[in-house]
Amino acid sequence: MNYDERLQNVSVLGAAGKMGSGILLLTAVEMADLSLKPENKGKTFCLNAIDVSHAGLAGLMKYLKAQVAKMAEKKTVLLRQMYADRADLIENEDVINEYVFDVMNIVRPVTTIESAYDSNLVFEAIIENLDLKTKIFSQIHEKNPNAWFFTNTSSIPIHILDEKAGLNGNILGFHFYNPPAVQRLVELITTKTNSSEMIDFANAYAKSLKKIVVPSNDYAGFIGNGHFMRDALHGIKEVEKLSKELSFVEAVYTINKVSQDFLVRPMGIFQLIDYVGIDVVRFIMQVMNPHLPEEDLHSDLLDKLFEMGVKGGQNSDGSQKDGFLKYERGKPVAVFSPGIKDYVEIDSFSKTCDEKLGTLPASWKPWKIVNFSRGGKESMLQTYFNELASMDTPGAKLAKAYNKRSNEIGNFLVSSKVANNAEDVNTVMLTGFFHSYGPINNYMQN
């Protein structure tokens, strides 16, 4: 079965979810483009959008139509070539509308798992629940033993899913980053039982989507969450230390500022935890922890916030829910205090915290300027970190410790064979987390 044939019948499990909807969009467009190739004219392409929620699927179809229209507007020249034999499509609007129709015509929104029984390829983007995943996989595999499964799991070892579901190597990890339609990174997790044909297809599919593929070995959490979970725990432990001399809200604000401004990252560690979701981060740690007997990937603080109903994550419109921090127009304005079970306005204490931290180096520039500078990023970073290394302020000390721990985590991922090399670790953090530099660096390491 060649590439085009494999993509003639595909299913996406959890299609109405945040990750599933993006995977469905990318796959629908890829399948539509294949269907318009002259050699595929007359062939049927079917993409099953499978989800338990009728309302979710209705919303998915609206989302899909709007996104495809936007994508079509950006490639009208290419579309005119694809529809060169259609004399009735005169205006660009005609071509765009026809393309939207062709993409939507491929998608079948359904709530029954049986729809996947005829699929050559099954993308899975349901919740991180081992038992549920294996139950669904084994059900489909029993009826369709030749189907390939591409799981979007970000933490569960692939070989465990394979063994529990009895898939005989017909599963690999194809971990998109959120949101899939925008993020360029894919972590590809293969096992010794995968066929070369399956791996070649995965790479070809990713290349066609213009994704950057980083291979990760089959260890719980892989590279991305392998770094993020440990990095988050460091931030939490630093808050616990600082809480002996500062209030809890001051400690959270301080470490969030250090991990963002002092380390030149796109957001502070507690903003990142909120973005992913306190409940999700906590759950990922629970999934990873049993597979890492020499570590303890657990946080009592995350448990406490979760029990209080403080979860973070995003609303259906993409806006940020309150978590460690309270947000207004996407910006943090308050910090949650477990003691009073309410938020404390940042303006009421930030000045005092900033004074204790000390000033940033004179060469400091915001992440956005550094990350999108043309050609001068490395020089800017080296100058900044040289200056920071020479400083002895509380903020500089916290930043040095944070950077050192991040570096240790990155090197651990290589030494423990989660990642093949330092470049792969750095690529994941640069591309998937939008850091302006990788964790394995020489900044302030002497």
Helix (H) or strand (E) holding 228: helix 224-242
pLDDT band at 445 (very low <50, low <70, confident <90, very high): low
Q: What is the percent of the chain where pLDDT is above 90?
A: 93
What Rg do the C-alpha atoms of the chain give, in angstroms?
24
In the predicted model, is pLDDT for residue 316 greater than 90?
A: no
**308: how many CB neighbours lie within 10 A of its CB?**
12
244-293 residue pLDDT tens: 999 999 999 999 999 999 999 999 999 999 999 999 999 999 999 999 98
Given a contact cutoff of 8 angstroms between Cβ atoms, the answer to whether 153 and 128 are in contact is yes
Residue with the bigger pLDDT between 415 and 178: it is: 415
pLDDT at 240 over 70: yes
What pLDDT is attached to residue 237?
A: 97
Rounded to an integer, the average pLDDT of 169-177 is 97
Per-residue pLDDT tens for 379-392? 999 999 999 999 99
234: pLDDT strictly greater than 60: yes
| More reliable by pLDDT, 116 or 89 | 116
- Residue pair 444/403 in contact (Cβ under 8 Å)? The answer is yes
Per-residue pLDDT at 33 exceeds 90:
yes
Report the alpha-carbon distance of residue 215 to residue 423 in Å, rounded. 11
Residue 81 pLDDT > 80, yes or no?
yes
Per-residue model confidence (pLDDT) at position 268: 98
Ordered structural domains, the chain, with CATH: 3-216 (3.40.50.720), 224-432 (1.10.1040.10)
CA dihedral 336, 341, 342, 343 (to 10 degrees): -10
Sign of CA dihedral 240, 245, 249, 254: negative
The confidence score (pLDDT) of residue 375 equals: 78
Whether 104 shows a pLDDT value over 70: the answer reads yes
Residues with Cβ < 8 Å from 98, sequence gap 6 or more? 83, 86, 89
Q: What is the rounded (10 degree) CA torsion for 7, 10, 13, 18?
A: 50
Q: Please indicate whether residue 208 or residue 319 has the higher confidence score (pLDDT).
A: 208
pLDDT at 446 over 60: no
d(CA 323, CA 267): 14
